[in-house]
Structure 1
Amino acid sequence: MVVTKSLAKTASQSALNQSVQFLKGVGPKRSEIFTKLGIDTIRDVLFYFPRDYKDRTRIQRISEAKIGAEITIQGRVLGIQTRMARSRKSILEIFVGDGTGAIAATWFNQPFLANKFHVGDMVFLHGKVGAYKYLQLLGPEYEVIRENEIDVKEGSVVPVYSLTEHMSQTHFRKIMKMAVHQFAGHIEEILPKEITKKNQLVSINDAVRNIHFPGTFENLEHARCRLIYEELFILELAMALRRRGIKEETGISFKIGANVDTHIRNLIPFALTNAQERVINEITEDMRSSKPMNRLLQGDVGSGKTVVAIYAILAAIANGYQVAFMTPTEILAKQHFQTIQKYLEHSHVRIQLLTGDTNSRQKKDNLDQIKTGQIDLIIGTHALIEETVQFRQLGLVVIDEQHKFGVVQRLKLKKKGLRPDVLIMTATPIPRTLSLTLFGDLDISMLDEMPPGRSPVRTIWVTQDKEKNAYGFIKGEIAKGRQVFIVYPLVEESESFDLKSAVTEARRLQADVFPTLRVGLLHGQMKQAEKDKVMMDFKEKRYDILVSTVIIEVGIDIPNATVMVIVHAERFGLSQLHQLRGRIGRGNEQSYCLLFGNPNSNVSAERLKIMTRTHDGFKIAEMDFRLRGPGEFFGTRQHGLPELKISDLMKDFSILKKARDDAFELVSEDPQLTMVTHLKIRQKVLETFKDRLELINV
């Protein structure tokens, strides 16, 4: 009996792994079109989910049409005519009847649609009922159903797929219907019975059938819940396994007593906020533990993350360990180096800067000192992960603006020590939904309080007709001795984009707008020495205005700069706008962020409105995530996340929380997923993540 079941299972899996070309109606040539859609096997077909559905459950008779109401009808094309209006616009009308009456579907200036319809075709139309000399639907949604294609019954919910050219919806549905009918029953159930029962989930076979051809919206909802849950459950299982793996490792147990604490606090010349104290306690507890710290420190721009990091750095050094502090850019590395140097000037800590532009002789000396342990704290860019960089005893890794790095780079740095503690910092607030997924295996600390004395930056949306007024305001601020950033999205003009560029605009602003002021230029294509000189000149007030690209998004600290102008602000993401705004408001004077923007979509306009309404980075991150989705927001590929086929992390957050709780509970009961009832789900996690399981937490 067991052998028979095993053979049946193998046959089922073998059937699903067949090439899509063996499906009736596909064949070798059409299979190339399927490959473009990412479909190679029959299993891929079944898990290629619709992007939308057409509601055919409420088809009405034409005789029921009421002027001003929306209506969905099914009927046959009785006639087609194209004519010209007095305004010289073309008018296409198709007349449709269903036995109870007739109605015209009317389109203006779309004569090419005439080729879509033939007399006798069965069509579905959805639109608002109007009247001219007769009843009509103006510019309705339409679908033509050919007799030789799939039979879509009245009263059904019809799937709509993302397709490429040379493949019609109706033909694709026909192939899908066949695949679902023949093969949906072969899909193996991988969720443990207690999980499906607890969450009242339908079977995987029913879920796949009803996600494609649900019949009713209730069936569709049950199918979606099941498939979303399974997708998120696999994701959270990977997180739980990874977290368990880290917690089972033995790391460094740092000794941080009253003596160490006092020495560190003596180097910090101001009182810490309550939020900083709380986070330092969390970090200290981690570092004292024998398990490696794996903590994400989130804090808005200016919330004091660097001071918290300095506490952890000094605690590690006091225990005789080295610290590596990695940043994404040379500008930020140098800024951190200068800031931390000031804090440490009355200490014996040996600190070194290591970047790509360090000259070869000096670099060799630095590397020797790092290897022999003569340097305690090494601050640098990607240069830190080069093979030539070897530590004597690396105890703590600090990574700033971690989302700017790829997962492999972060893992390389960690591997330069024997299970060092890791503190990851970001000034890009991450919505809780993403924290649970991208960083589900990290402990998270939040600095949700600003140091005293910082007044919020006033943010103003400046439309095109108000730009001259804004320039006048800028002159007034500079007359008070202040400085100004003006940021452009491009370095140089491009034929592909109708956008202003930093290089061209710097010349125009100097010549035409601010001829008596000193205008500097900074962009990523300049050599490092040039960039450093421009930044130093701006810091030392040799320029009144710095025209720049987003290169200043991270780590520029000019307390005298009180105005940030962002040109084409509608082209930037919310989080990026918030980061740029964070470059000002660092002194005691009131600061202003001027958003020059003329959005051509509701989403772009909404972004600018949000910026003028709130300064809370976490609220902004939630809004950004809502508007742009996880892939855009955070480059999920970079984070080792598999692509989500059906889940939406924001909309499906309630399911995500259930899946997370269940996944972490399962792993606490069966840490290796070796119980017989968990083997299938273990295999699914390994298949989904392949070589990414180690990377996903980094």
Structure 2
Amino acid sequence: MNFSIRDLKGIGPRKEALFARLHLATVSDLLQYFPRDYEDRSHIWPIGQAPCGTGKSLVLCGTVASVQEMRPRRGLSLLKVRVSDGTGAVELVWFNQAFKKRQLRVGMTLTAFGKLEWAYGRRQMNGPDTEEGRAEGEGFVPLYGLTDGLRQQDIRKAVRQALDLAREHLDILPGWDGCRQSPFATMPTLEAYEQIHFPDSMEKREQARRQLAFEELFDMQLGLLLRRRHEGKRQGLKCSPNGKLLKTFYEHLPFTLTKGQTQAFLDIQADMESEVPMQRLVQGDVGSGKTVVAALALAKIVENGYQGALMAPTGILAAQHYDEFCRLFQGLDVRIALLTGRTTAKERKQLLADLADGRIDILIGTHALIQDDVAFRCLGLVVTDEQHRFGVRQRSALEQKGKEPHALFMTATPIPRTLTLSLYGDLDVSSIREMPPGRKRVKTYAVGEALRRRVYVFMDKLMAQGQQCYVVCPLVEASETVDLQAATELYEQLRTQVFTKRPCGLVHGRMAGKEKEAVMEAFQKGDIQLLVATSVIEVGVNVPNATVMFIDGAERFGLAQLHQLRGRVGRGDQQAYCILMAKGGSDETRQRLKWMEQIHDGFTLAEKDLLLRGSGQLFGYMQHGLPDLKAADILSDVPILAAARDAARQWWLDHEDTAQAEAPLKRRFGQTFAGLLNN
């Protein structure tokens, strides 16, 4: 049973719409909307005696003496509210939250929770949480993420009603009896929900969180096991052991495979020779040689009389793969074709006819591959490159063009070791850790604005020798509110004032696809020597002559993105450089840039990136279709994750009928996850 949020008192159509902004549609959703913080309201300080600058949040209460809204400049509003209680006064300040003015009036009693500072000769709280009335003696009060028009009181009232409803109907609680036999299950589930929303103490709150984290991770792991069961029931295309084509392909390779490449293909080979359709992810740094592994897999499927397809996120990357495959398969009887948005109507018509008749063995392309009129005679293997750039449905659409084909996914965004089984529990994972021999490490330097002129001189010197350079910045156009170098502005400056003798180009995400591809093609050919860009060049550009990656405003990029950008250079024989220019930044920013200077392994950087970013939005970030975690944190809850995986596997072994698990999983994760289980 599940109740709509409209079943709660005080929630009509208007408030229902406000809760919907927070993705809260049911009582179950509301129970899983955990507080982001808590107010310790066991003690309210007299304003005149409250300590300033301690860094700790505290509670003040008084009467609103004045409400003042100011607009010092365009795009910035200040709301200042003066509150006093007879012992002193405090100024409450909010930036760009003018809507709060409607909730405040002179003479009302107001409780405020936040960090108290001494500023401009007065006590001040910036961005405090507030509530009308005097809220004393309530212990720990939850603070939830809000949206305009919704107050803390609204959510607290709704959550209290949801908990009352759960006492009468325990089956609306996420989780179920299957996951409650664990060292982490130390209190009844209902009590755990009560304690995480309205805790008696922080110790009780953590005890509740750990239990709910276990239940959540148990359900996630069991859901992935259900997915694997679904995959295991499918009858796949069982390939024969390697034959003449693969033997000849190996002999024609102009290099020796690395240990990682060899192991990855052995994994793929075993998968393709079984009756269950392969579902494997190959992850490795930019330049680690994933393309050759994909080519080996496609050669194997062709050798067995089937067709193969490789889908890439951009036309440029698809064309690069096509050129590389033509070289790799040169002299072999393998017919390769390219299908992108730039394929002419006449060429496309002939290509589709050849594909349907089986005259094309390997088709490489973009999203164009999943269009309705693209029909294969016998598709046996689907390869998706940079798989995180595609949604679950797009990847599935290509697989559906064959009858239970094998599926291989590739990514140059390494996933930390501790997360692969959580993110890709429904996939087998192969990792290519080492780089091909002879590839030089990209020298990386973090510098300040004072060295800009020296950087330009260095770049010009290299371009005078015929080399090419990237300049990347985070914005397309200048912004009034953010002091960052915009791509369009910087392009004009470099083209007209700095590198006047060098052919320059500009590419960014707002350009039309064909225009963008034309610029990138000119850069690949060497017609453009300096390319100014936003991070659209992060994936899929292979220009061996490019030796400098200059990132202006590096403090605005995450570790994974910086590493991806760095991977765009150093693809040839010459020494390459990555220069990170940052304008100040936090301690976290300085740490991130220091790691970039010191660490060149993408897997290690991925671990560091996770430490900085946290794992709350990890699943959404990976576009894998899995839900975001609510109670669990993959970083700090690794022991809980391990226990949850073991418990889910044991439950799986003990229960022949797993259908009873599907309803609780749908209740926790919703229809999106249910669809993922059965697609």
Into which bin does the TM-score normalised by the smaller protein fall? Answer: 0.7 to 0.9
Alignment partner of 1:275: what SS? helix
Counterpart of 2:146 in structure 1: which amino acid? L
What is the alpha-carbon distance in structure 2 between the residues aligned to residue 67 and residue 643 of structure 1? 37
1:17 aligns with 2:3: yes
In the TM superposition, what is the alpha-carbon distance from 1:335 to its structure 2 partner? 0.4
Q: 1:452 to 1:140 in 2, by over 3 A?
A: closer
Matched ranges for 1:39-188 at <5 A: 39-56=24-41, 77=62, 94-95=84-85, 104=88, 106-107=90-91, 139=125, 152-153=136-137, 156-170=139-153, 172-174=155-157, 176-177=159-160, 179-181=162-164, 183-188=166-171
Aligned counterpart for 1:422 among listed residues 407, 421, 434? 407
The residue type paired with residue 557 of structure 2 is F
- Structure-2 residue corresponding to 1:211: 196
List alignment gaps of at least 5 residues for structure 2.
68-79
Q: What is the letter of the counterpart of residue 144 of structure 2?
A: Y
C-alpha distance in 1 between matches for 2:111 and 2:296: 70
Q: Does 1:547 align with 2:535?
A: no
Whether the 8 Å CA contact 1:397–1:421 is kept in 2: the answer is yes
Q: 1:461 aligns with which of 446, 456, 464?
A: 446
Q: 1:303: how far off?
A: 0.7
Q: Which moved more, 1:456-465 or 1:687-696?
A: 687-696
CA contact (8 A) 2:35 2:142 kept: yes
1:690 to 671, 676, 679: 671
Could you tell me which runs of 5 or more consecutive residues in structure 1 were left unpaired when the two chains were aligned.
1-12, 83-89, 97-102
**Counterpart among 272, 275, 280 of residue 290 in structure 1:** 275
Q: Is the CA contact 1:117–1:144 (under 8 Å) kept in the aligned structure 2?
A: no
Shift of 1:608: 2.9
- Residues 388-446 of structure 1: per-residue CA shift (max 9 Å, x gap): 11111111111100111111111111111111111110111123354233321100000
Contact kept? 1:487, 1:502, Cα under 8 Å:
yes
**1:480-495 alignment to 2 at 5 Å?**
480-492=465-477
Distance 1:26 1:613, change over 3 A: same
Q: State the alpha-carbon separation in 1 of the partners of residues 199 and 93 from structure 2.
A: 37
Which segment is superposed worse, 364-373 or 616-625? 616-625
List per-residue Cα deviations over 1:446-498 (Å, max 9, x = no partner).
Answer: 00011111121111223222111100111122233322122233455567865
CA deviations on 1:590-647 (whole Å, 9 max, x unpaired) are 2101123325555444433332231111222233334335576664584222343333
* Contact 1:62 1:73 survives alignment (8 Å): no
8 Å Cα contact 1:560-1:587 kept in structure 2: yes
Q: Distance in 1 between matches of 2:222 and 2:553?
A: 42
Deviates more, 1:27-36 or 1:261-270: 27-36
Counterpart amino acid of 1:684?
A: P
Deviations 1:237-277 (A, max 9, x none): 22111112112322111112365543221121111111111
Equivalent residues, number:
660
CA distance in 2, matches of 1:493, 1:444: 42
Counterparts in 2 of 1:414 and 1:76: CA distance versus 1, 3 Å: closer
Tell me the CA shift for residue 222 of structure 1: 2.1
Asked if structure 1 preserves the Cα contact closer than 8 Å seen for 2:236 and 2:277, the reply is yes
2:326 alignment counterpart: 341
SS at match of 2:562: helix
Q: Do the aligned residues in 2 keep the contact of 1:570 with 1:597 (CA within 8 Å)? A: yes
State the shift of 1:232 in Å.
2.3
Whether 1:471 and 2:451 are equivalent positions in the alignment is no
Residue 348 of structure 2 corresponds to which residue in structure 1? 363
The whole-number CA distance in structure 2 between the counterparts of 1:300 and 1:488 is: 22
Deviation readout 1:279-303 (Å, 9 max, x if unpaired): 1211111111121111000000111
Q: What CA distance in whole angstroms lies between the structure 2 residues aligned with 1:70 and 1:302?
A: 46
Q: 1:116 to 1:427 in 2, by over 3 A?
A: same
Report what 1:310 is aligned to: 295
The amino acid that maps onto 1:153 is G
Aligned ranges for residues 398-437 of structure 1 at < 5 Å?
398-437=383-422
Which of 249, 263, 276 is the equivalent residue of 2:234?
249
Q: 2:112 & 2:495 partners in 1: Cα distance? A: 61
Counterpart of 1:198 in structure 2: which amino acid? S
Aligned residue in 2 for 1:380? 365
Give the letter aligned to residue 318 of structure 2.
A
Q: Could you tell me which of 420, 437, 442 is aligned with 1:452?
A: 437
Inter-CA distance 496–330: structure 2 relative to 1 (3 Å threshold): farther
1:382 positional shift: 0.9
Equivalent position to 2:337, from 341, 348, 352: 352
Q: Which deviates the most, 198-207 or 315-324?
A: 198-207
Does the 8 Å CA contact 2:93/2:126 hold for their aligned counterparts? no
Match of 1:238 in 2: 223
Aligned counterpart in structure 2 of residue 274 of structure 1, from 249, 254, 259? 259
Task: Return the letter of the residue paired with 1:196.
Answer: R
CA gap 1:258/1:352 in 2 versus in 1, 3 angstroms: closer
Q: Secondary structure, in 3 states, of the residue corresponding to 1:456?
A: coil
Structure 1 residues 260, 163: CA separation in 2 closer, same or farther (over 3 Å shift)? Answer: same
1:227 equivalent in structure 2? 212
Which residue is 2:77 aligned to? none
Q: Which moved more, 1:441-450 or 1:335-344?
A: 335-344
Q: How much identity, in percent, do the aligned residues show?
A: 39
Whether the aligned pair in 2 keeps the contact of 1:429 and 1:618 (CA below 8 Å) is yes
* Correspondence for 2:71: none
> Which structure has the larger Rg?
1
Report the AA paired with residue 17 of structure 1. F
Indicate how the Cα distance of structure 1 residues 270 and 697 shifts in structure 2: closer, same or farther if over 3 A, else same: farther
1:76 & 1:432 partners in 2: Cα distance? 49
Deviations 1:122-157 (A, max 9, x none): 857776799x99xx976599777766x7x6526x22
C-alpha displacement at 1:651, in angstroms?
A: 3.3
Q: Does 1:199 align with 2:183?
A: yes
- CA separation of 1:369/1:668 partners in 2, compared to 1, >3 Å: closer, same or farther? farther
The alpha carbon displacement at 1:47 in A equals 3.6
- SS of 1:446 mapped into structure 2: strand
Partner of 1:85: none
- Is 2:313–2:390's contact at 8 Å kept on the other side of the alignment? yes
Cα offset for 1:160? 1.2
Name the SS for the 1:336 alignment partner: helix
Q: Which amino acid aligns with 1:169?
A: Q
- Rounded to whole Å, the distance in 1 between the matches of 2:66 and 2:537 is 60
Q: 1:512 to 1:93 in 2, by over 3 A?
A: same
Aligned partner letter, 1:164: T
TM-score (norm 1): 0.83
Higher deviation after alignment, 460-469 or 349-358: 460-469
Paired AA for residue 360 in structure 1: A
Using the alignment, how far apart are the partners of 1:311 and 1:524 within structure 2? Answer: 33
1:77 and 1:348, CA in 2 relative to 1: closer, same or farther beyond 3 A?
closer
* Helix, strand or coil at the partner of 1:346: coil
SS in 2 for 1:639: coil
SS of corresponding position for 1:520: strand
Cα 1:409–1:117, aligned 2, differ >3 Å: closer, same or farther? closer
- After TM superposition, give the deviation of residue 121 of structure 1 in Å: 5.5
Task: Give the secondary structure class of the aligned counterpart of 1:432.
Answer: coil
Residue identity matched to 2:34: F
CA RMSD of aligned residues (A): 3.9
Helix, strand or coil at the partner of 1:285: helix
CA distance in 2, matches of 1:190, 1:144: 31
Tell me which amino acid in the other structure corresponds to 2:664.
K
Residues 521 and 548 in structure 1, CA contact (< 8 A), matched pair in contact too: yes
> Which amino acid is the alignment partner of residue 212 of structure 2?
L
TM-superposed deviation, 1:525: 5.7
CA apart distance, 1:502: 3.6
Contact 1:441 1:697 in 2 (8 A): no
Deviation per CA, 1:196-217: give whole Å up to 9, x if none: 2333412221112111211112
CA contact (8 A) 1:370 1:392 kept: yes
